[in-house]
Amino acid sequence: MMATRPNLVRDVAIAAVALIILLLLPYVWPSKMVNDLIIRVSAFALFATSLNLLVGYTGMVSFGHGMFFGFGAYAFGLSMQRLGVSIPMAFLITVVSSALLGLVVGAISIRLKDIYFSFITLAFQMLLYSTVIAWVPLTGGDQGLMGGIPRPPFLGIDLSIEAHRYAFAVTIMVIGLLILRQIVESPFGYTLRMIRDNSERATFLGINVFRAKLTAFVIAGVFGAIGGMVMALFVSGAYPEFVNWTMSGEGIFMIMLGGLSTFVGPAAGALILSLLNDVITRGTEHHGLFLGAVILLFALGLRKGVTDFVADWFRLRREASSRSGS
């Protein structure tokens, strides 16, 4: 525990600087398009980083993580529309309900390994997707939650104002990533890495692997749902596409593009994928072809994410300087 203290101070400092930069950005670069992009990236960064807690840190390749993203969007939207509660209350409802969902789905899924785990998570996601499509009176079916999500002001924050919405989204992202960072750097985070590398060894060391995996699954689910909530606030609605398997696919792409061996990799991947999507959609209708080609290039050609290259470059430089120094 003592060893994590300096890291905590460093992480908080980095998060504070990042937050200040993001909050000042609209004043330096007043572009609504950049603001919109960063809000969406905030949602996706939480989603992809939480997925990486499972994929990269625990070795559980979930194909159904989009379930939490969509669930978060619907839970938040429905709480606001139907219950008429305040935004912090709806946030709390989203967090608690997604944790319960994670607990139920996780308790069943993590008993299975490898591809079976991947597929059962996908199956749960499709179950939720079908429910959203079929339960028209509650969810609006394929048309999504119609009529907009109300955004009543709270604590002096009015999310119907674009500047407030932007500040809220980036603050949630930075705090969310900071918490996730503390989790992966904690003894629990290292337990997850041990389970990933050798779960038998972890069992023999007296670790309750099931409980550790389930905890990771629930935490990932909650942060995935918070990502969905940010997205719901941005589009003022929730749509079945958020719960569809393609959302899980995009999460995996983000991790692949950004790199799974660094903490910020998935967030960088979220930025890259969003940028690629926006730029390619502007230029061509054959965006699937171009996006697919880029992903193929990463998967087959580079075999690493962008931040993996950056990390390697730093490592090599450090090694070179230590060699020359010695």
Partner 1 sequence: MARKRVDLDRRTVLKGAAAGAAATIFAPNIVAAQSKVVRIGMPTILSGRVAQLGTSSRNAVQMEVEKINAAGGLAGRQIEMVIRDSKGQPQEAARVSRELVNSDGCEILLDAEASSGSFAVQEVAKDLGVLVMHTNSETSSLTADPKIRIPLAFRSCRQGIHDAVASGAYAAEIAKAKKLNRWGTCSPDYAYGRDNTQLFVEYLKHFYPQAEVTTEAWPKLFQPDYTEVITRVLQSKPQALYSALWGGDLTSWVDQANIYALFSQMEVFAINMADYTALTAVKNLPKGIHSATRYIKTYPATKANAEWGDAYRARFKEYPTNWSWENWVGINFIAEAAKKANSADGKKIAEAMRGLKIDCPFGTDGTVTMRADDQTVIGYAIGWGTTIPQEPYVPEVKGATWDTILQLEAEWKKRNNYT
- Residues of this chain that bind partner 1 (CB under 8 A): 31-34, 36, 40, 133-134, 136, 140-144, 146-148, 160, 162, 231, 234-237, 239-242, 275, 278-279, 281-282, 285-288
Find all residues with CB under 8 Å of 142, minimum gap 6, and list them.
Answer: 133, 240
Least distance in Å: CB of 257 to partner 1? 16
Q: Which CB atom, from 282 or from 303, has the smaller least distance to partner 1?
A: 282
Least distance in Å: CB of 112 to partner 1? 27
Q: Which CB atom, from 261 or from 281, has the smaller least distance to partner 1?
A: 281
Least distance in Å: CB of 48 to partner 1? 16
Q: Which CB atom, from 43 or from 184, has the smaller least distance to partner 1?
A: 43
Q: Which CB atom, from 11 or from 241, has the smaller least distance to partner 1?
A: 241
Least distance in Å: CB of 218 to partner 1? 26
Report the C-alpha gap between 191 and 186 in whole angstroms. Answer: 9
Least distance in Å: CB of 248 to partner 1? 15
Least distance in Å: CB of 226 to partner 1? 17
CA-angle at 153, arms to 152 and 154, nearest 5°: 120
Least distance in Å: CB of 224 to partner 1? 16
Find all residues with CB under 8 Å of 280, minimum gap 6, and list them.
Answer: 287, 290, 291
DSSP string, 92-142: HHHHHHHHHHHHHHHHHHTTS-HHHHHHHHHHHHHHHHHHHHH-HHHH-GG
**What are the counts of helices (DSSP H) followed by strands (DSSP E) for the chain?**
14, 0
Q: Which CB atom, from 20 or from 279, has the smaller least distance to partner 1?
A: 279
186, HSE (Cβ side, Cα atoms, 13 Å)? 10
Question: Could you tell me how far CA 146 lies from the centroid of its own chain?
Answer: 25
DSSP string, 293-304: HHHHIIIIII-S
How crowded is residue 175: how many other Cβ atoms within 10 Å of its Cβ? 14
Q: Which CB atom, from 5 or from 282, has the smaller least distance to partner 1?
A: 282
Question: Could you tell me how far CA 198 lies from the centroid of its own chain?
Answer: 25
Q: Which CB atom, from 118 or from 250, has the smaller least distance to partner 1?
A: 250
Three-class DSSP category at 154: strand
